[in-house]
Amino acid sequence: MSAESTASAAASTAASNVEAFDAVDVIRTKRDGRAVPEDALRWMIDAYTREYVADSQMAAFAMAVLLNGMERDEIRVMTDAMIASGERMSFAGLGKRTVDKHSTGGVGDKITLPLAPLVAAFGVAVPQLSGRGLGHTGGTLDKLESIPGWRAALSNDEMFAQLQGIGAVICAAGSGLAPADKRLYALRDVTGTVEAIPLIASSIMSKKIAEGTEALVLDVKFGSGAFMKDVGMARELARTMVALGADSGVATTALLTDMNTPLGRAIGNANEVRESVEVLAGGGPADVVELTVALAREMLALAGQPDADVEAALADGRAMDAWRRMIIAQDGDPDAALPTPRETHTVTAPTAGIVSRVEALPFGVAAWRLGAGRARAQDPVVHAAGIDLHVKPGDEVAAGQPLFTLSADDAARFERALDALHGAWEIDDAAPPVGPLVLERITA
């Protein structure tokens, strides 16, 4: 081959590798507050997934989104592009209606555990792809791994078979779902852009839509222990995600729920499993039962059963039966003893009065410091670590009465946990005002 023809071939190859857009132009568009054209935005997500766009460039783009926001159509396109970056599951051959639930996370939020088998007791399939905790919010998989033998990793075939036979699956999401989001989520975590509502919404909904469920109920939390402290921002996030679901053909509703106080009385892993089983047995804390029932009603309504008697399924054992079958199917032993801590420390009331405040965030941080959570994704959790609340706001207490108990495998952890709880609770002369647990319902 002549030098001329070799040069021509090289030029042709180079031309075929020319990218359709430039990341700098996309960044400038959003930096200047303008909408990014659809084809350019799709390219940006695809090029970042292929590692053509550098982390530094995507970080700049994410910061521009945080500062300037996105139009609804931009968020839809970005979500769709992240879905297109990986596989998309389908439950079309299941022969059951499918409905999922997602919580934006909180302290003591074990609702998925009783909720999935409760909804499955009505013949509805619940494919609950869950995650692990990081920081003060607990992870559903970490809680369930307190159960001896239970495994989070299932193949798609195992998941499908379990949904067909039992109706409920709580397991880890496969790496093939929305890989663009996996890269972008990790980047946001270290660049101060986690709070961008368009990025939160597209992150959550890309995975949920790719999962292939027909319907979705969102538990969007606000308050001290929530991702969104401000109720207005939580409402905006909920509306954005409900709109994304509607745009993608997934029937979606959202509940705005209060996370100023921890849910229930258990904060941790094994103790939250115990509390969930209490709910499935027809007992449990009133707030956990209330939210479980509210979300179950939403899910069943979307699945075509608006009149389902949810409370009856908790009372008569149907939900518990579904729980046991679900745990056994994933090699867990529902009758096995759960881990117990080596060390405990109980804090008592210094004076008599009425508990006026138990603030969620400090209690979540304290449980994390006790070993119930992880600072890095690769860190192990101590399943027996956590906090058990003996009182809730509005309870009357006597001097010396136990308020809460810290649990850990190493007593040296108590000091830093107690530091986190300084000023996090109060005893007063009067009962605090009581607001609704479920503030608002948002639909398309």
Catalytic residue (one of 202, 203, 276, 407): 203
Taking only Cα atoms into account, the Rg of the chain, rounded to an integer number of angstroms, comes to 24
Grouping H, G, I as helix, E, B as strand and the rest as coil, residue 88 is coil
**Known active-site residue 203:** yes
The structure tokens 């398309």 sit at: 444
CB-CB neighbours of 294 under 10 Å: 20
d(CA 371, CA 160): 34
d(CA 120, CA 141): 19
Catalytic residue (one of 80, 181, 219, 247): 181
d(CA 365, CA 276): 21
**Known active-site residue 136:** no
Ranges assigned E (strand) in 259-333: 266-268
**Known active-site residue 101:** no
Catalytic residue (one of 207, 324, 374, 413): 207
Strands in 438-442's sheet, in edge-to-edge order, are: 99-103, 215-222, 251-258, 438-442
**Known active-site residue 181:** yes
d(CA 299, CA 96): 14
Catalytic residue (one of 42, 188, 239, 383): 188
Reading the block at residue 223, the tokens are: 């308050």
Reading the block at residue 143, the tokens are: 């809680």
**Known active-site residue 392:** no
Dihedral of CA atoms 198, 199, 202, 206 in degrees, nearest 10, equals 180
Reading the block at residue 348, the tokens are: 């008592």
Catalytic residue (one of 30, 42, 97, 102): 102
Q: Which sequence positions are flagged as catalytic? A: 102, 181, 188, 203, 207
